[in-house]
Amino acid sequence: MLDNKPGNIKKLTLPDGFRVGIVNLDNILQEVVGLKLADTKTIKTELLKRVETQNYVPSGVKTEYTAALYHEYQRKYEPDKFKEEKTERHQHTKG
């Protein structure tokens, strides 16, 4: 059963480190994973669409919200993929 109480707010960290409260974030992530979408772009679109139905997302930061939502989605539901991506991003080369 999904918890739709307005007090169900979770913090989401945007790429710049700013934290925002998202109503029903856990439920939204759960709903989207239940759709069994394979395409990253479709997953990102669906996450943002569902967040916008219950939260105000300023138009100038939709890209940042989308990135943060997908990051949280991967962290929670695609841990293997999340670890690979995180490792690739943090590799440094000697120059």
Q: Are 45 and 5 in contact (CB under 8 A)?
A: no
Q: What's this model's pTM, rounded to 2 decimal places?
A: 0.79
Confidence grade of residue 82 (pLDDT, cut at 50, 70, 90): low
Confidence grade of residue 86 (pLDDT, cut at 50, 70, 90): low
Tokens at 70, concatenated: 């997908």
Q: Are 69 and 47 in contact (CB under 8 A)?
A: yes
Residue 79: the pLDDT is: 77
CA–CA separation, 39 and 88 (whole Å)? 20
Is residue 23 pLDDT above 60, yes or no? yes
> What is the residue extent of each domain of the chain?
9-80
Tokens 């939502």 appear where? 69
Length of the chain: 95
